[in-house]
Structure 1
Amino acid sequence: MLKVGSSAFRKQSLGILAIALVLGGCAASSPISSETPESEAVVPEAVASPETGEAAAAEAIAQAPQSIEPVTLVEGLEHPWGMAWLPDGTMLVTERPGRLRIIREGQLDPNPVPGVPSVLAVGQGGLLDVAVHSQFAENPWVYFTYASGTARANQTQIARARFDGSTLSDWTVIFEVERDKSDGQHFGSRLAWLPDGTLLVSIGDGGNPPVELDGDLIRNQAQNLGTRFGKVVRLNSDGSIPSDNPFVNTPDADPAIWSYGHRNIQGLALDPATDQIWVTEHGARGGDELNAVQPGSNYGWPVVTHSREYWGGQISSEQSRQGMVDPLVVWTPAIAPSGLAVYRGDRYPQWQGHLFAGGLVSRDVRRIELDASGTVINETPIDIGQRVRDVRQGPDGLLYILTDEPNGRLVRLEPS
């Protein structure tokens, strides 16, 4: 397992060096991309010829490190949280105070979309993630997660509404955490479509001590299959429960549960090439995690954890246990991960299959490279300079970022 802060990083050369070797066969010094970590320069071997030189040069370019520039497209978003695209390229962006915004052709519509009801915008709560139905042309539904209730009694809810391009209608709650909790912490709550048309939703564990449920610390509910706290749930598009969920036939278990033992997942992404689900979740004091999630699995919180209490005390003496899944990356100190994408486009060919994890505290995006077995072999920070709330791959094959600020930005990573 790669531990952030260790020396298990690699440095790669710029494409200019690879091209020089391919076309001229010469060994020459070359600048090293400032965005890659230090370790070693690796250059593919090739011999140029009239027949093969052009193809070999193209291959060298494809394998060279990617240099990018973060470009601000839109400003003036108030604590944006999630983004999604309609088939025509229109972008929908949620603002945590309770507004849905439209960005068309790079321009922010000054008027919020009508039809969003009041949400609980307290602490970490508010209008959170957004997702467009996977077959929007036939089913013009937009899905939302948000906090509902009061500061003393609240829950995460999932709703959908019809969208005609300008207005939401038929807002309907299709799923909720049935038990109320107090305080404004740990709502989750990311959305991700699976290839079979079902929807994954991450739900937080309910909060930090001293928040309780039924006389016990509420975070312990992450291990309780009878509640929805600290879980990933899987739903049909209408909010009903799929009959093949892993705990459908388990006595006293909530049939919506897909995986459990989570603290507060705010990064959730499907790799469309492998169907693997990846999540990033907040630890407490340190111990943020990257996990490869499988249905029915237990990810340990709070029985096993690399986190410590915010005041410094130990949460658990165990960091691993048989029957519980270990994280692939542990971030200590915390980066406060939020927003996650798996890159499968053609605009950054060197980054195929890499993960991109946003960091609120670290104010950057972590590019995470995997080997063929799914093991993390490299991590590189891309500085953004503001709290990163969401990271998504757009329909144009570029990566987009939302920053969590009173004057939040939409940023695009452009190849340079």
Structure 2
Amino acid sequence: MSYLSKRILSGIAIAFIVAGCSSAQNPLNASSAIGSESNYGIPPSGDVPKSNNFKTTTILEGLEHPWSMAWLPNGEMLITERPGRLRIIRNGQLEKTPITGLPEIFAAGQGGLMEVSLHPKFAENRLIYLSYSHGNAQENRTRIARAKFDGKALQDLEVIFEVSPTKSGTQHFGSRIVWLPDNTMLLAIGDGGNPPLKIDGEYPRKQAQKLNSQLGKIVRFNDDGSIPKDNPFVGTENANPAIWNYGHRNIQGMTFDAENKRVWSTEHGSKGGDEVNLEEAGKNYGWPVVTYSREYSGGEISQERSRPGMVDPKLVWTPSIAPSGLAFYNGDLFAGGLVSQDVRHIDLDGKGNIVGEKSIEIGERVRDVKVAPDGKLYILTDEDNGKLIRLEAVGS
């Protein structure tokens, strides 16, 4: 019997579902209401084993709520700080003076300067991309800007994409970026926020199922912000052509498995119900029609856990770990946890099925996880005194 099967049968399983398994196929009855543990379509997750296979080394500290990192071809490193600074590490040292030339940023709550990403041909064009929140507390949105980086400052900055519609509040900006092999970009966008916030008289979560809204979506566009002609909803009446897939609450981890051409994400639930998803074009991931989340105030958001035509998650975390950065590394997934203060090592088999999970303890909120050019994993901790930490395998 596999490690995962034993955990499921023991009642302390990590939440797991076989790819493509519908509620009709699932003996645990995925459409049952939350009430008792046995009524979950995906068993509720519990504590997972601790991993002793990685050691942590703090490379530097003194960062203020760092959010994302990217490496330049010369080995230098860019790091965003959510309050609105882009920092650079040269020769192993964090330069005191931030990079200049950034756009105007609305930094409040979950918003601020978020992802930094290099164009796949950065060595030729020197283009970097930033995601950030723009506006004010009454009216704001996620934007993407690109600029040329001359080593000290951003030049020729232009906004190439902004999310529609605008929203109020300071929640659910999403903002992870993934580049596909054709040099198009995927951007994860949150649903707009929690109750009691409203958009057009409805809770923002309703936006995730609306194809005329970019909230609660993954969108895809070209490197100049234009819309690819092969996006799945191009030509669909009353659908926004930028949408790549939909039905998401707030994705803050996304990564690309280049070997198998797969896009993976981690998504925040509300009270429980965090998800790991295998993302595909044109698909509906269910939020808030089907969900394992509950209202923060108590009670169900939906009685449905699965529905035909909607994609089931591969893994559900209840209680929430508050997943953030996500990396594909040596055939497995490594997901940062803000609340759990760890990195979850998620074992995948050759077909992309989840077959196990362990916890690499960090002891601080983990905001980003990425693979560096040196082949090692690095993480950022989301603290007032945030750290850059290297993870290194120490055995099997």
Q: Same fold (TM over 0.5)?
A: yes
Q: What is the Cα deviation at residue 169 of structure 1?
A: 1.1
Q: Which of 160, 164, 174 lines up with 1:188 in the alignment? A: 174
The 5 A counterparts of 1:12-411 are: 37=49, 67-343=53-329, 352-411=330-389
What is the rounded CA distance, in whole Å, between the counterparts of 1:37 and 1:401 in structure 2? 20
Q: Which of 6, 24, 31 lines up with 2:12 in the alignment? A: 6
What is the rounded CA distance, in whole Å, between the counterparts of 2:325 and 2:226 in structure 1? 26
Paired residues of 1:286 and 1:331 also in contact (CA < 8 A): yes
- Normalising by structure 2, report the TM-score: 0.87
Paired residues of 2:52 and 2:360 also in contact (CA < 8 A): no
Paired residues of 2:14 and 2:317 also in contact (CA < 8 A): no
Q: Which amino acid in the other structure matches residue 175 of structure 1?
A: F
Structure possessing the higher radius of gyration over alpha carbons: 1
Q: Which amino acid in the other structure matches residue 365 of structure 1?
A: V
Change (3 A) 1:369 1:195: same
Change (3 A) 1:66 1:105: farther
1:246-276: per-residue Cα shift (whole Å, max 9, x none)? Answer: 0002111000000100000000100011110
What is the rounded CA distance, in whole Å, between the counterparts of 1:195 and 1:84 in structure 2? 18
Give the secondary structure class of the aligned counterpart of 2:208.
helix
Paired residues of 2:116 and 2:130 also in contact (CA < 8 A): yes
1:58-81: per-residue Cα shift (whole Å, max 9, x none)? Answer: xxxxxxx98221100010000000
What is the rounded CA distance, in whole Å, between the counterparts of 2:275 and 2:91 in structure 1? 35
Paired residues of 1:8 and 1:377 also in contact (CA < 8 A): no
Q: What is the Cα deviation at residue 88 of structure 1?
A: 1.1
What is the rounded CA distance, in whole Å, between the counterparts of 1:204 and 1:247 in structure 2? 19
1:189-217: per-residue Cα shift (whole Å, max 9, x none)? Answer: 10111011000000000000111111111
What is the rounded CA distance, in whole Å, between the counterparts of 2:95 and 2:209 in structure 1? 43
- Normalising by structure 1, report the TM-score: 0.83
Paired residues of 2:63 and 2:386 also in contact (CA < 8 A): yes
What is the rounded CA distance, in whole Å, between the counterparts of 1:314 and 1:67 in structure 2? 38
Q: Which runs of 5+ in 1 are unaligned?
A: 10-35, 39-64, 344-351
Q: What is the Cα deviation at residue 165 of structure 1?
A: 1.2
Give the secondary structure class of the aligned counterpart of 1:326.
coil
Change (3 A) 1:185 1:7: closer
Give the secondary structure class of the aligned counterpart of 1:137.
helix
What is the rounded CA distance, in whole Å, between the counterparts of 1:251 and 1:7 in structure 2? 43
Give the secondary structure class of the aligned counterpart of 2:275.
strand
Q: Which runs of 5+ in 2 are unaligned?
A: 16-47
Question: 2:22 corresponds to which residue?
Answer: none
What is the rounded CA distance, in whole Å, between the counterparts of 1:114 and 1:277 in structure 2? 33
CA RMSD of aligned residues (A): 1.7
Q: Which amino acid in the other structure matches residue 6 of structure 1?
A: I
What is the rounded CA distance, in whole Å, between the counterparts of 2:123 and 2:354 in structure 1? 37
What is the rounded CA distance, in whole Å, between the counterparts of 1:293 and 1:199 in structure 2? 14
Paired residues of 1:96 and 1:125 also in contact (CA < 8 A): yes
Q: Which amino acid in the other structure matches residue 306 of structure 2?
A: S
Question: 2:38 corresponds to which residue?
Answer: none
Question: 1:414 corresponds to which residue?
Answer: 392
Q: Which amino acid in the other structure matches residue 37 of structure 1?
A: P
> Which structure exhibits the higher relative contact order, with contacts defined as CA atoms closer than 8 Å and separated by 6 or more residues?
2
1:78-127: per-residue Cα shift (whole Å, max 9, x none)? Answer: 00001111111111000000000001232111110011123111110000
Q: What is the Cα deviation at residue 6 of structure 1?
A: 2.6
Q: What is the Cα deviation at residue 290 of structure 1?
A: 0.1
1:205-237: per-residue Cα shift (whole Å, max 9, x none)? Answer: 000011111111111100000010000000100
Paired residues of 2:14 and 2:315 also in contact (CA < 8 A): no
What is the rounded CA distance, in whole Å, between the counterparts of 2:140 and 2:99 in structure 1? 25
Question: 1:45 corresponds to which residue?
Answer: none
Q: Which amino acid in the other structure matches residue 388 of structure 2?
A: L
Give the secondary structure class of the aligned counterpart of 1:310.
coil
Question: 1:349 corresponds to which residue?
Answer: none
Counting aligned pairs with the same residue, the percent is: 60
What is the rounded CA distance, in whole Å, between the counterparts of 2:198 and 2:177 in structure 1? 26
Question: 1:17 corresponds to which residue?
Answer: none
What is the rounded CA distance, in whole Å, between the counterparts of 2:298 and 2:153 in structure 1? 48
What is the rounded CA distance, in whole Å, between the counterparts of 2:255 and 2:280 in structure 1? 13
